[in-house]
Structure 1
Amino acid sequence: MTDLSMGLLYGGATLAVMFTGMPIAFALGAVALVFMYAFMPVSSLDMVTQNVYEEMASITLLSIPLFILKGAAIGRSPAGQDLYLALHAWMRRIPGGLGIANVVACGLFAAMAGSSPATCSAIGSAGIPEMRKRGYSPGFAAGIIAAGGTLGILLPPSITMILYAVAAEQSLGRLFLAGIVPALLLIALFSCYTAWRYRHEYSVAEAALQRHGTASPFPKEGPMSRRDKLAMLPRVLPFIILLLGVMVALYGGYATPSETAGLGALLALGLIAGIYRIWRPRQLEPILSATLKESTMLMLIIGMSLLYSYVMSYLHISQSTAQWIVGMHLSRWVLLAAILLLVIVLGFFLPPVSIILMTAPIILPPLKAAGFDLVWFGVIMTIVMELGLIHPPVGLNIFVIKNTAPDIALRDIVWGVMPFVVLMLLAVVLICAFPAISLWLPNMLMN
């Protein structure tokens, strides 16, 4: 059987199994085991556990459960609501300040929790009702939170970037640094659109008031004293200090990523115990249970994805596909566009973890041969995979928002996130045109 036939059979079998509804980890593992039995030496089946263990025996992967614990501790405490309320208090006088406060709160909370769904749930549960109460249309309010939640896999500590660093054999520190300025760019784009959209909806409401006497959905808010604003900071500042402390420990060379993850998890547990009095076993059980479930699910997907990639490499599917792509002699930007389109399509069906581990052996060699910086591409790929969290038909964040605000129609949520999809594509174009947006900071700090 030719490499082409083998590759088509392997890919077709994977899609067929996935469309049965089988969980992704089991689907990838089942396809890999069947092809090992059919096309590889029988002795390879005896080495499955050893292969999976060797692939996962990475000190970098050890940080994933610890970062998940840190995110669960923060995500299941009132920290998100306090962060949102504090930002709202200080930005309420800005046109669209409530929406901008939600965008910034999503960015900060995503950086602390490292989880897009957790960010949508924590900030959305408080932010969406407040925005709707102050006149924001349901779709607009939902779109702000859904798009803001995508920052969770771009800002460090990002589990997605950890996996990319392992798959691409790149510096995790450089990847984390490379994601910071693009994340700030996205926050700025989201905030500018939020302010413009607020002004538009406000002007429409005012015009309706003047023409038809329709009551404006935008209530007038009274002033807030500086003392009241300052009173909201004590509960927020410790978590901001935690975020900065973790970054200093990591980039200052004081701790490895795994040590930083452990330090962040312990400090997060200490903060919720000291600030919110969450320390009893009954209160900690949901945090530990969520950490165990998410870590087990994620590590199982990682293990099966690595086994899937190992079989693909053994059967020369990835090497042949990479050679075929290089042999097409595409211009470097056409090659990049084709690969990003593939990632977008895969985002319809697969989570970022599986996309990275399944496609890395195929797409990274041609990109490297074309002269692209793999750290820069990691940022681009991460943003494109973020699109998979908010674009139909899967869009995990869309369904998280639907669960958080069940009275908002799914159609309104989808239309609410589409402008943010366009803004994310604009950010990709800007980073492609000006690579220094992502590479300037790691080049400056890590030479």
Structure 2
Amino acid sequence: MNEVVMSVLLLVTLLGSLALGLWVSIALFLSGAVGILMFSNAPLTSALATNVWSSSAEWSLAALPLFIWMGEILFRSRVSSDLFTGLAPWLRSLPGGLSHVGIFASGIFAAVSGSSAATCATVAKVALPELKKRGYDEKLVLGAIAGSGTLGLMIPPSVILIVYGVAAELSIARLFIAGIMPGLMIFALYAAYIALWSILNPSKVPEKDPPLPLLERIRGTGTLIPISLLILGVIGSIYLGIASPTDSAAVGVVLALGLSWWFGDLNWKMFKESLMAATLSSAMIAFIMAGAAFLTVAMGYSGLPARVAGWIGDLGLSNAALLAALTVFFILMGCFLDGVSIVVLTTAVLLPTVLQAGIDPIWFGIFLVLVVEMGQLTPPVGLNLFVLQGMTGRDILFLSKAALPFFGLLIVGLILISVFPGIISFLPSLMFSK
């Protein structure tokens, strides 16, 4: 009975704190403190200090602020605008024309930023004015940018994969490699949808620009060389075993600073702004993870994780039914919490059940990220929707409708990785086979 009372009290404290508008990290710390004080003899200050330190001292977490800083540097440099210049000549002849620019640019930028919001903001800043000026359908363009911005969560180096890897004590390099094919799959689904939509709605697509000579296309592609070298430097160092994910993040920052200096964008103001923005984002994530670790300790006294795992296990659900239930659960959570919060709140509780069901934790990590991607597109806390609202002035309802088809494509992707798990497991088994 004591376990039930504590579980209910912790849940009420957490949800009440979030409803009052407290920061997620503060709500987590407060809920953990209530649990420790009321249901444990452990000294609060010692438990707090120990768990905050242990959750923050993981070496793998050092990659987080570095990758975030790299994205902030690129966001403020001309490298991001060069994406449009380099991609446009090749995409203008496809069905849908330059509507594809948002998706292709997001895929490339995601590979060097690791952040969904940074990817969405950067591509919107560069591509949206150009596409609106050329007469492309606003709802399609905004939906494509919002949807493809989620690629920043999947395509390595992904911030959220680092968070999951630390929480689940898994190889981050394996997780990065496992995210490549699912990321490309989502990328292909988005591109196919835009092409099909454009064929079915020819009146809403402006006339194609005349094709450019091959030499001009190649000359325009030259603007993609710097960011391509950056991707090779960061991702290649991991896959070739030259650097760990943490080391490669440092390489990425140095390369990003070097490119910004080369293009003349690097100055003291830009350096300070990028560093401050990265510090704020990293501190937010660190505090959320520390608060979640503290709450996990409090929940351990209640026996809640074991009870949840046991309850789900007693239901006798098949793996398919279990994943379907978790999908609904995560989508609902995504309506109220950001992706990092969802991962750190649920991993410790659900991973034992997932392992007991015989589900590969690497596969589950990609599954979790894919479902969290959906949360970036669901109001009221759809981060990508907020980013676009701030940049366009459009209301959340309009943006939600624009993003709805891409939300549906994420569900299709979820079904595909469930039916064909090799989409996730093939590359890690190939790269790490003995």
Matches within 5 A, 1:3-402: 3-202=3-202, 204=203, 218-219=206-207, 221-274=209-262, 276-402=263-389
C-alpha displacement at 1:72, in angstroms? 0.9
CA contact (8 A) 2:97 2:208 kept: no
Residue 351 of structure 1, CA deviation: 1.2
Decide whether the 8 Å contact of 1:153 with 1:386 is kept in 2.
Answer: yes
Runs of 5+ unmatched residues, structure 2: none
What is the number of equivalent residue pairs in this alignment? 433
CA distance in 2, matches of 1:412, 1:21: 25
2:219 and 2:429 mapped to 1: Cα distance? 39
| Preserved CA contact (<8 Å) 2:238 2:245 | yes
Whichever residue aligns with residue 219 of structure 2, its letter is A
Q: Do the aligned partners of 1:348 and 1:393 also contact (CA within 8 Å) in 2?
A: yes
Query: How far apart are the structure 2 equivalents of 1:66 and 1:27?
Result: 27
Structure 1 residue 124: deviation in Å? Answer: 0.8
Using the alignment, how far apart are the partners of 1:247 and 1:308 within structure 2?
Answer: 34
Q: Call closer, same or farther: CA 1:223–1:337 in 2, change over 3 Å.
A: closer
Contact between 1:325 and 1:366, CA under 8 Å: does it hold in 2? yes
Calculate percent identity across the aligned residue pairs.
34
Q: Give CA-to-partner distance per residue, 1:273-319, whole Å, 9 cap, x none.
A: 11x21332123121111111111112111111111122212332112
1:269–1:314 Cα change, 3 Å:
farther
CA displacement 1:162-188 (0-9 Å, x = unmatched): 111112222211111111101101010
For residue 432 of structure 1, report the CA deviation from its aligned partner.
Answer: 0.2
Is 1:422 the counterpart of 2:394? The answer is: no
Unmatched 5+ residue regions in structure 1? 206-216
Counterpart residue identity of residue 354, structure 1: S
Instruction: Report if aligned partners of 1:82, 1:232 keep a CA contact under 8 Å in 2.
Output: no
3-state SS of 1:235 partner:
helix
Write the distance in 2 (CA, Å) between the matches of 1:170 and 1:428.
22
SS in 2 for 1:390: coil
Rounded Cα–Cα distance in structure 2 between residues aligned with 1:233 and 1:168: 40
Normalised by the length of structure 1, the TM-score is 0.93
Deviations 1:333-366 (A, max 9, x none): 2112112211111111111111111111221111
Counterpart CA distance in 1 for 2:170 and 2:370 is 18
Query: Equivalences for 1:403-442 in 2 at 5 Å?
Result: 403-406=390-393, 408-442=394-428
Superposition CA RMSD, Å: 1.6
CA distance in 2, matches of 1:227, 1:322: 61
- Partners of 1:347 and 1:330 lie apart in 2 by 23
Give 1:61 shift.
0.8
CA distance in 1, matches of 2:16, 2:220: 53
Instruction: Name the CA distance, whole Å, in 2 between partners of 1:148 and 1:56.
Output: 31
CA contact (8 A) 2:173 2:244 kept: no
Normalising to structure 2: TM-score of the pair? Answer: 0.96
Counterpart contact for 2:186–2:413, Cα < 8 Å: yes
- Which residue type is aligned with residue 231 of structure 2? L
Moved more, 418-427 or 165-174: 165-174
Secondary structure of the residue that 2:243 maps to in structure 1? coil
8 Å Cα contact 2:79/2:226 also seen in 1? no
Offset at residue 368 of structure 1 (A): 0.8
